[in-house]
Amino acid sequence: MRINDKAAARLKELGIELRQGISLAEETSLGIGGATDEILLGRYESIPEVMRLLADEHIPHRFLGGGTNVLIVDGELPWVVLHLPTAKPGMRVEGNAAYVDASADLGGMVTFCAKHDLGGMEGLIGVPGSVGGALRMNAGAYGTQIGPHVREVELYRAASGQIETLRGSDIRFDYRHTSFAPDDLMLRVKLELPPKPFKEIIAGIKVCNEKRRASQPLNQKSAGCIFKNPAGGSAGRMIDELGLKGHRVGDAMVSDRHANFFVNAGHASCSDMLKLIDDVRERVRGAYGMELENEVIVWRN
Ligand SMILES: Cc1cc2nc3c(=O)[nH]c(=O)nc-3n(C[C@H](O)[C@H](O)[C@H](O)COP(=O)(O)OP(=O)(O)OC[C@H]3O[C@@H](n4cnc5c(N)ncnc54)[C@H](O)[C@@H]3O)c2cc1C
């Protein structure tokens, strides 16, 4: 979708950057996605006004963080994309608390906190994407999730049209699911972290990095795990047991390294990837009687 001239002129007045006709295939780790205009929400205080403008001009929008957990339809997209600029995100530490902008890289935040002898997030080191995406998804790995460390989130709330602060205890963090409203936009977080010597944190980080390197196709385009693990089970194990590693639809392929990672092995289209997801889900349902739920967020028209 293209921003009309009136809205573009108003964004300019507000000092908001507009990038026209960008390809989301280049903004996502799967390398799949169509074209649209992108608004860079550089000044948080003008977000409520930008949102009002989009509503008044009937311009639908979606919010993109690091693009590492989304599968986006191809072609001209019927919505614009909002994005927080990633250059120089704010990060500071006060005692046991870390205050971090949602645009910050998650791994960068883990190492920044480590340098201040704050640990507890070693497991998250290899999870790509932004802090905002991690908050939305309650990202987790190797026994660590971000949710339990969250003390406050500053966010734009679509319901009130205002920037507000929520207490961590008022937010529900479940397995790859949170109680934020779908169009809440996370801006900053306050985390409380246990003190730990830098050397110990780095040792923990090394272990997690090695585990990841040994089991995941890190040099291929993916969105991490495609399916959530069902209670008490492993989606990857079931897919592997069905002999589906390497199974493909066009260039969309079940990784031969990790059966719950589906990779873009060339020029996969969104529909190739969706067919592969449906096909694998159906085979798992047939063999195990289990319905796998997507972990990847799919943006259709
Ligand atoms: C190689 C690889 C390994 C991975 N391993 C893991 C893993 O171990 N554990 C894990 O949990 N995930 C993993 N993932 C998935 C992904 O990295 C996480 O879900 C990550 O937290 C998504 O962050 P993002 O900024 O890229 O979000 P995006 O993909 O950009 O967006 C995901 C969702 O969050 C929303 N969103 C993003 N930012 C904001 C914001 N500021 N405010 C409101 N909503 C927002 C988007 O609208 C979208 O709905 C992996 C992915 C890859 C490619």
Digit-by-digit pLDDT tens for the chain (301 residues) are 999 999 999 999 999 999 999 999 999 999 999 999 999 998 899 999 999 999 999 999 999 999 999 999 999 999 999 999 888 899 999 999 999 999 999 999 999 999 999 999 999 999 999 999 999 999 999 999 999 999 999 999 999 999 999 999 999 999 999 999 999 999 999 999 999 999 999 999 999 999 999 999 999 999 999 999 999 899 999 999 999 999 999 999 999 999 999 999 999 999 999 999 999 999 999 999 999 999 999 999 8
Q: What are the angstrom distances between the C-alpha of 115 and each of 25, 92, 111, 122? A: 34, 11, 6, 12
Q: Cβ(146) to ligand 1 under 6 A? A: no
Instruction: Provide the number of structural domains found in the chain.
Output: 3
Pairing of strands 177-178, 173-174: antiparallel
CA of 176 relative to ligand 1 center, distance in Å: 10
Ligand 1 centre to CA of 105 (Å) is: 11
Q: pTM of the entire structure?
A: 0.97
What is the extent of the structural domain holding 264?
219-299
Q: End of a domain among 169, 188, 214?
A: 214
Could you tell me if 181 and 195 lie in one domain?
yes
Please tell me whether residues 159 and 256 are part of one structural domain. no
Q: Are residues 133 and 60 in the same domain?
A: no
Q: Is the CB of 121 under 6 A from ligand 1?
A: no
CA of 133 to the centre of ligand 1 (A): 4
What is the CATH classification number for the domain harbouring 119? 3.30.465.10
